[in-house]
Chains A and B, each alone.
Chain A
């Protein structure tokens, strides 16, 4: 009763009591705090996914790269690129000036300062998953990116999809990554084996003729298998025949037992579907077997390396790669504005030009950040929608589409040729660009590889 009395006695002339004023103020404060959400796209549907919502003044990104193991050098270059991307996101500069359309301001992402944690994939699926899970659960990263192998990328992509964390693939070239294993939360900027086959085969038939017999040596894992299938498909369309294919264990260091099979066949082209140390060893072994100076069927025996990288070329040595054809996603010698500014800022920072692995990782980080800015939120389904079918330019590969149907970037790719030792002017030009194949030529129907992206909100 006392309460009622006092309430009545404290009522103002306008009919407001102190309590009702307090109630209204509290409700107003709550409403005001929540107001930004009302104006965010689809905010009514937002709920906690992965590490969303992001708390505090920082947003943390997870860079999971091979810091030990066979791809450690590539991983080190990826990490350099990621650190540079963070620097540019927080302070401006680099491709922030060339990427179009872009909402990046150089003031972090959505006003939050960008921080990062790093992990070591060890080029091992289990280790990469453990490392990614640690970043997600302990360090509360909003996005994971990295990797130098398709098997590792696919493993992390599945994990991140399950946990509601966007995974921006690093260096992965298997058709499966955005094919049968594609995931709603996985995105690949790098090109793939199918695009390599499509771009490279016409160049091969022009250089070596249409009546050729190919023998494939193939790394026995996801990437190798799809690379071999794509090369076989497109070289046969050019009129070549396939003499044989041997799957080689990933840990092989001496390929002589497989090269003996090639010697014993009628093949006049050797296609090495190998990457990293595998390619370095198989190519070096093939050269030792005299295959660069050999004739078969009245023609010079040729060696093809479908996927090239500068580090691999350096490992094999310019004498061995002299004249050998392959493809790359990007090269530091490109002259477009995006490439030039990236090469300059990277070189200023580290003293040498970036690799294609560094390029794709740098661009992926910027694209994710830009998608958050465009969506106006870190809420993963909205960021995914912002990335899907996003068309952009100024990132080093001409006009590029992040295709919504399979999360594969459709962009120009490069046909490369090994430089001779005498043509080299520095320790970084082991390869030269002989053709830039446009995005339209390497485009394909995403349905051919099957797979399902799955829902925007993980189950």
Chain B
């Protein structure tokens, strides 16, 4: 590997932006698991719905409306999904939850394929986010001409803002306090007169809404075809496992770790293909609960 400072910078940026998509998807997954205890394999399909909605609205009405409309629509969709299906599986084993959500993911994927076709729908980047940034203009240590797509750096920023917002919601608000308490002992919260089920419904909607944000900004990067959801689901799920089931900090850490690993192993196809699984095995052997996982959860 020709590791000049230029190359190293590109590797780091690529790792960050690859990690950003994983973090955005894993954030919703881990939030739902941490609060509701549901392993939601339909989360990739939520991302899929988001990118199809985003590209449709973007192509018809512009990116601004896609940004305003898609996350709330996904929130409503998440709430309906939780009320209609997921809540019936709260007390069922994880295997039942995985089967029903995985089945739902396939149904949604095939439904979208039926409506939009199996071919890719081009998702154009809005003009303000198009183009490249001349990194050498901002980073004096770079030699010559080093550029990076503006949109991918915007994606990293969006990811950071979303993570910060979720942390703030959980740690700085009364709603977050109740949720965190509910995560510890939902039964006790109900004895104290808190309608924890209603709040869990909102958490599911929030997880879905984050998939909506990921779809709006990630769509132009992952593009829009029916297989995208499933392709992202496995690495995102592994990010949750590596980070620790239910740990938001862990998801962020693991997302960046996986992104970096993929970036730095890009020239070596064999290693690049298995690196995520290799990291998962090593982490689970050394620390069964994941990097920042709570003791006793999925250990």
Contact = CB atoms under 8 A, between A and B. Distances in A.
Contacts of B220: 284, 288
Interface stretch (A85-93, A158-166, A254-262, A400-408): A254-262
Chain B, interface size category, equals 35 or more
Given A260-B14, A263-B10, A288-B151, A69 B131 contact: no
- Which are the 7 A-B pairs with shortest beta-carbon distances? A317-B122, A315-B120, A72-B118, A290-B132, A247-B269, A257-B266, A280-B120
B113 A72 contact: yes
A140 B6 CA distance: 62
A254 B152 CA distance: 11
Contact of B10 (A69, A251, A264): A264
9 contacts: A220-B273, A249-B269, A253-B222, A256-B18, A260-B266, A263-B10, A288-B220, A290-B147, A315-B225
Contacts of A317: 122, 124
A315 B21 CA distance: 22
A70 B227 contact: yes
Contact of A288 (B125, B232, B263, B273): B125
A295 to B, nearest CB: 9
Nearest to B220: A288
A277 B262 contact: no
B227 A249 contact: no
Given A73-B118, A288-B125, 13 more contacts: A220-B273, A249-B269, A256-B18, A260-B10, A261-B267, A264-B6, A280-B225, A288-B221, A289-B149, A290-B132, A290-B147, A290-B149, A314-B119
A223 B220 CA distance: 27
A51 interface: no
Main secondary structure of the interface of B (DSSP, over half): helix
B132 A277 contact: no
B228 interface: yes
Nearest to B21: A254
A280 B117 CA distance: 15
B152 to A, nearest CB: 7
Of A257, A258, A261, A277, the most chain B CB neighbours within 10 A belong to A257
Contacts of B21: 254
Interface of A: 68-73, 220, 244, 246-249, 251, 253-254, 256-258, 260-261, 263-264, 277, 280-281, 284-285, 288-290, 294, 311, 314-317, 319-320
Interface in B101-143: 110, 113, 117-122, 124-125, 131-132
Contacts of A70: 118, 225, 227
Interface of B: 2, 4, 6-7, 10-11, 13-15, 17-18, 21, 110, 113, 117-122, 124-125, 131-132, 146-149, 151-152, 220-223, 225, 227-228, 231-232, 262-263, 266-267, 269, 272-273
A280 B121 CA distance: 9
B121 A257 contact: no
B119 A256 contact: no
Contacts of B15: 257
B290 to A, nearest CB: 24
For A256, A285, A290, A317, which residue has the most chain B Cβ atoms within 10 angstroms?
Answer: A256
A253 B118 contact: no
Nearest to B1: A261
Given A264-B6, A264-B10, A257 B149 contact: no
A319 B221 CA distance: 16
A261 B120 CA distance: 25
Nearest to A282: B223
Contact of B152 (A288, A315, A316): A288
B118 A71 contact: yes
A256 B118 contact: no
Contacts of A264: 2, 4, 6-7, 10
